[in-house]
């Protein structure tokens, strides 16, 4: 896209943001401001239409402006032009896209929030923070996030070109849809510390957790780590019920929004485990897992250890427009127990672990053409090590 188009769309975004947002949410805007913004927009539109070096269709200009409006709201909202509605209606919105990738758009490209543990994406080596530049040769920079997800849902294998931090060359991955749900909770023992990994919140997760906690309690273990790293999606209600298993009082979360019914979830008095607790988070902890971590942190039930979470505990809705297009947008957000929006910066841990050293990748030796990718040497688990140290457990060694 040329600089002039970008400049025009940027101006259009600024001018139309208050108008479109007001129309969608039913907010009143003073008439003099409305007319002033419309007048300025008309002037800019006419200027570009009559002076730009090439002829640009009016629909293309307006679609770009409206897309800019949703981009200005947040990275999870998008505009669907009328011409794309037929394709959008056939879009099957599965959160992890059948291959285990939870994605959004950042800096114009598809961005990996998380590769769901146990999924084809995770097994292939795709990681949180990777940028997907191309899907089957198509640049993601020209796609809305729903189009990215639609391509990932293909029944045939999809080829991804990925750029990751610290590298200049592109890596290629082939992903094929597979059945990897439901994902079971796993438990381990590190010396005197019990460890529970929750990879994803889905139907039955809370019941699994309750059973695991009951067994831990019966065994007399009083130190527990719950690992939410990489847990970026799933059923929010399961996350809320799971958090309640560890609380005897206090608010778990609430939901707020201009067009959603306000609601609060309070913890009941029953608990499956009342010992010491630590919760592990990272940048791919999102959605329901953030609500869980916020409930533990906000009620002083235990320590959160690791890295600030992603900030994606939201409610979204598709809103059809009279033009024939529509807007998929955030209409509500979940809060911490002290009523702060989780999406505003995520959940900052009580104990922050510096992962700078893990960002430095060892150079990968060149492989012969057609040879499989060399196995990546696993990095030290600094977050788990820190959590064990806080429990006075010296090293991350599993109990026999």
Express each pLDDT in 31-75 by its tens digit.
567 777 778 877 877 888 788 888 878 787 777 777 877 888 899
Other CB atoms within 10 A of residue 257 CB: 16
Tell whether 203 and 339 lie within a shared domain: yes
Tell whether 167 and 202 lie within a shared domain: no
User: CATH number of the domain that 163 lies in?
Assistant: 2.30.42.10
Tell whether 112 and 58 lie within a shared domain: no
- In whole angstroms, give the CA distance from residue 145 to residue 151: 10
Other CB atoms within 10 A of residue 184 CB: 13
Per-residue burial over 188-210, b = 16 or more CB atoms within 10 Å of its CB, e = otherwise? eebbebbbbbbbbbbeebbebbb
What pLDDT score was predicted for residue 362? Answer: 52
Q: Answer whether residue 191 is part of any domain.
A: yes
Tell whether 210 and 303 lie within a shared domain: yes
What is the radius of gyration, based on Cα positions, of the chain? Answer: 24
Of the residues 116, 141, 175, which one is the last residue of a structural domain?
Answer: 175
- In whole angstroms, give the CA distance from residue 390 to residue 400: 21
Tell whether 154 and 270 lie within a shared domain: no
Tell whether 355 and 220 lie within a shared domain: yes
User: CATH number of the domain that 264 lies in?
Assistant: 3.90.226.10
What pLDDT score was predicted for residue 33? Answer: 73
Tell whether 133 and 228 lie within a shared domain: no
Tell whether 120 and 98 lie within a shared domain: yes
Answer whether 138's CB lies under 8 Å from 120's CB: no
Q: Answer whether residue 396 is part of any domain.
A: no
Name every residue whose Cβ is closer than 8 Å to that of residue 366 and which is 6 or more positions away in sequence.
none
Of the residues 152, 175, 198, which one is the last residue of a structural domain?
Answer: 175
Q: Answer whether residue 181 is part of any domain.
A: no
Tell whether 244 and 265 lie within a shared domain: yes
Which structure tokens are listed for 10? Answer: 């940027």
Q: Answer whether residue 197 is part of any domain.
A: yes
Tell whether 232 and 278 lie within a shared domain: yes
What pLDDT score was predicted for residue 22? Answer: 52
- In whole angstroms, give the CA distance from residue 61 to residue 397: 59
Tell whether 24 and 133 lie within a shared domain: no
Nearest by Cα to 330 from 311, 315, 346, 312: 315
Output the pTM of the full model: 0.84
Q: Answer whether residue 223 is part of any domain.
A: yes
Tell whether 51 and 192 lie within a shared domain: no
Q: Answer whether residue 399 is part of any domain.
A: no
Other CB atoms within 10 A of residue 127 CB: 17
Per the structure, the count of domains in the chain is 3
What pLDDT score was predicted for residue 37? Answer: 73
Q: Answer whether residue 365 is part of any domain.
A: no
One pLDDT digit (tens) per residue for the chain, 400 residues: 454 444 444 445 444 544 455 544 444 445 567 777 778 877 877 888 788 888 878 787 777 777 877 888 899 999 999 999 999 999 988 889 999 999 999 988 999 999 999 999 999 999 999 999 999 999 999 899 999 999 999 889 999 999 987 677 899 999 999 999 999 999 999 999 999 999 999 999 999 999 999 999 999 999 999 999 999 999 999 999 999 999 999 999 999 999 899 999 999 999 999 999 999 999 999 999 999 999 999 999 999 999 999 999 999 999 999 999 999 999 999 999 999 999 999 999 999 999 987 766 555 554 444 444 544 555 789 999 999 999 998 766 665 4
Q: Answer whether residue 83 is part of any domain.
A: no
Name every residue whose Cβ is closer than 8 Å to that of residue 77 and which is 6 or more positions away in sequence.
70, 71, 316, 327, 328, 329, 330
Of the residues 111, 144, 175, which one is the last residue of a structural domain?
Answer: 175
- In whole angstroms, give the CA distance from residue 15 to residue 110: 27
Range of the domain at 286: 186-316+330-359+378-390
What pLDDT score was predicted for residue 32? Answer: 63
First CA to last CA distance, the chain: 60
């Amino acid at each position: 896209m040329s600089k002039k188009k970008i400049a025009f769309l940027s101006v259009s975004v600024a001018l139309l943001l208050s108008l479109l947002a007001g129309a969608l949410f039913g907010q009143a805007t003073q008439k003099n401001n409305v007319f002033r913004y419309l007048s300025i927009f008309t002037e800019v539109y006419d200027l570009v239409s009559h002076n730009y070096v090439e002829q640009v269709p009016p629909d293309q200009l307006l679609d770009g402006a409206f897309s800019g409006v949703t981009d200005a709201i947040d990275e999870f909202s998008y505009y669907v032009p009328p011409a794309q509605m037929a394709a959008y209606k056939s879009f099957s919105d599965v959160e992890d896209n059948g291959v285990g990738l939870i994605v959004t758009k950042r800096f114009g490209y598809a961005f990996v929030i998380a590769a769901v543990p146990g999924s084809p994406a995770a097994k292939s080596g795709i990681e949180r923070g990777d940028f997907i530049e191309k899907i089957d040769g198509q640049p993601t920079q020209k796609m809305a996030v729903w189009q990215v997800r639609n391509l990932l849902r293909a029944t045939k294998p999809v080829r991804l070109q990925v750029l990751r931090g610290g590298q200049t060359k592109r890596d290629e991955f082939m992903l094929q849809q597979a059945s990897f749900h439901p994902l079971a909770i796993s438990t381990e023992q590190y010396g005197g510390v019990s460890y529970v990994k929750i990879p994803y919140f889905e139907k039955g997760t809370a019941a699994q957790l309750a059973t695991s906690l009951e067994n831990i309690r019966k065994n007399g273990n009083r130190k527990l780590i719950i690992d939410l790293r990489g847990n970026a999606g799933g059923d929010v209600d399961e996350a809320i019920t799971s958090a309640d298993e560890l609380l005897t009082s206090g608010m778990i979360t609430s939901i707020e929004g201009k067009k959603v019914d306000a609601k609060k979830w309070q913890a009941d008095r029953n608990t499956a485990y009342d010992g010491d607790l630590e919760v592990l988070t990272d940048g791919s902890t999102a959605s329901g897992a953030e609500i869980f971590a916020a409930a533990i942190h906000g009620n002083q039930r235990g320590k959160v250890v690791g890295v600030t979470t992603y900030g994606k505990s939201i409610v979204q809705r598709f809103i059809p427009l009279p033009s024939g297009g529509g807007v998929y947008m955030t209409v509500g957000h979940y809060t911490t127990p002290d009523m702060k929006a989780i999406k505003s910066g995520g959940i900052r841990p009580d104990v922050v672990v510096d992962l700078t050293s893990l960002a430095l990748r060892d150079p990968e030796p060149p492989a012969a053409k057609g040879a499989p990718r060399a196995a990546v040497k696993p990095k030290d688990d600094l977050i788990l090590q820190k959590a064990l140290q806080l429990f006075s457990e010296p090293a991350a060694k599993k109990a026999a």
